[in-house]
């Protein structure tokens, strides 16, 4: 690409960047894309787990169906990608205890204990 000529003399090349990239804006957008993808994936996993427990997909009528859905509730979960909103399915008769949320709970608990022990408060709590 050839440099453009200035308007004053018609022959001077324009110096400086021709295209400006706002790296902060790009990074922010990428962060949101990753967060949204994590949220979408976790919600799809929750739906698949509910389908497996019920023995049928949402609204599907089969003879092998074990339960039906009874709505859902939202739950916020902090991930490395940021806070995501999970839509946790409710079932009419079977308990819906997902392994997905439990894994994150264990990680959060471990991180809290690790943070306490690193800060020295854990030792003072043990000695009280």
pTM of the full structure: 0.62
Report yes or no on 9 lying in a domain. Answer: no
Report yes or no on 96 lying in a domain. Answer: yes
Report yes or no on 7 lying in a domain. Answer: no
Quote the domain boundaries for residue 64.
23-123
pLDDT in tens, the chain (128 residues): 555 555 555 667 767 777 888 888 988 889 999 999 999 999 999 989 888 888 888 777 888 778 888 888 998 988 888 999 999 998 888 888 787 776 655 555 555 555 555 555 444 444 44
Q: Which of 64, 44, 40 is nearest to 53 (CA)?
A: 64
Report yes or no on 68 lying in a domain. Answer: yes
Report yes or no on 77 lying in a domain. Answer: yes
pLDDT of residue 115: 52
Which contiguous run of DSSP H or E holds residue 119? helix 99-119
- Burial readout 66-94 (b: 16 or more C-beta within 10 A, e: otherwise): ebebeebeeeebeeeeeebebebbebeee
How many domains is the chain partitioned into structurally? Answer: 1
Report yes or no on 2 lying in a domain. Answer: no
**Between the CA of residue 119 and those of 43, 108, 126, what are the distances in Å?**
35, 16, 13
């Amino acid at each position: 690409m050839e440099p453009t000529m200035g308007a004053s003399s018609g022959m001077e090349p324009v110096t400086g960047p021709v295209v400006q990239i706002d790296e902060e804006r790009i990074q922010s957008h990428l962060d949101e894309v990753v967060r949204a993808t994590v949220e979408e994936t976790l919600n799809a996993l929750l739906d698949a787990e509910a389908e497996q427990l019920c023995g049928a997909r949402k609204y599907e009528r089969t003879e092998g169906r074990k339960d039906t859905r009874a709505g859902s509730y939202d739950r916020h979960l902090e991930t490395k990608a940021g806070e995501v909103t999970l839509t946790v399915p409710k079932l009419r008769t079977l308990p819906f205890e997902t392994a997905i949320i439990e894994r994150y709970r264990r990680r959060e608990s471990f991180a809290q204990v690790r943070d306490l022990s690193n800060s020295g408060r854990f030792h003072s709590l043990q000695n009280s």
